[in-house]
């Protein structure tokens, strides 16, 4: 991102989207766990604003949302999500900067970011649940990271690359590169 002011504004926009999009789920936790509405703006922030902004916006969004709206609950969900989303934003920005800006690499970046974020979520959840004495099992990881999240994963795969392609197209036209 060339313009730091534009980067700050876009980061704020993605933070706001991360706070507001979960209202689509009607504050029904089981629906939010399936559609993952907070994930999309964070991943987009990483792609568009870079790894540093993606990391920061990813970390603070679930914490702010928990503090402002009470959802997700701060402990253990928002705490674990903060690390997960920070990794999504960071890795999306990092991999997108490293790889060539070709469609296949956009998908590769998305898949790698989703995988890294879910692994970090599992590790952090293991420690958080362990501290509380409840334990975090492999079954809980698979349910939370893949099975229950499948509709949201599908939405991310369908829409995030399209939005990144559209943003790149607008940006290249703005820069005079058609």
Of residues 2 and 53, more confidence is placed in 53
Q: Which pTM was predicted?
A: 0.92
Which domain covers residue 122, as residue numbers? 4-168
**Among 79, 68, 87, 80, which residue's Cα sits nearest to residue 27?**
68
Helices (H), strands (E): how many in the chain? 8, 0
The CA-based angle 147-64-109, given to 5 degrees, is 45
In a domain, 103, yes or no: yes
Residues 119-167 pLDDT 10s: 999 999 999 998 988 888 999 999 989 999 999 999 999 999 999 999 9
Q: Is residue 177 part of a domain?
A: no
Total domain count, the chain: 1
Structural domain contains residue 77: yes
Give the integer Cα–Cα distance in Å for 118 and 79. Answer: 14
pLDDT tens per residue, range 14-59: 999 999 999 887 667 677 778 999 999 999 999 999 999 999 999 9
pLDDT of residue 133: 83
* CATH code for the domain in which residue 122 is found: 1.10.1760.20
């Amino acid at each position: 991102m060339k313009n730091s002011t534009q980067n700050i504004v876009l980061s704020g926009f993605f933070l706001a989207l991360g706070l507001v999009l979960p209202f689509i789920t009607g504050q029904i936790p089981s629906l939010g766990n399936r559609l993952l509405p907070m994930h999309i703006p964070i991943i987009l922030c990483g792609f568009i604003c870079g790894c540093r902004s993606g990391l920061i916006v990813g970390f603070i969004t679930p914490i702010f949302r928990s503090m402002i709206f009470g959802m997700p609950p701060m402990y253990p969900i928002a705490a674990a999500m903060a690390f997960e989303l920070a990794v999504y934003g960071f890795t999306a920005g990092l991999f997108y900067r490293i790889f060539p800006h070709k469609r296949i690499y956009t998908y590769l970046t998305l898949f790698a970011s989703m995988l890294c974020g879910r692994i970090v979520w599992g590790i952090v959840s293991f420690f958080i649940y362990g501290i509380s004495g409840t334990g975090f099992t492999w079954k809980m990881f698979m349910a939370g990271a893949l099975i229950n999240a499948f509709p949201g994963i599908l939405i991310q795969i369908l829409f995030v690359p399209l939005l990144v392609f559209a943003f790149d197209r607008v940006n290249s036209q703005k820069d005079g590169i058609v």
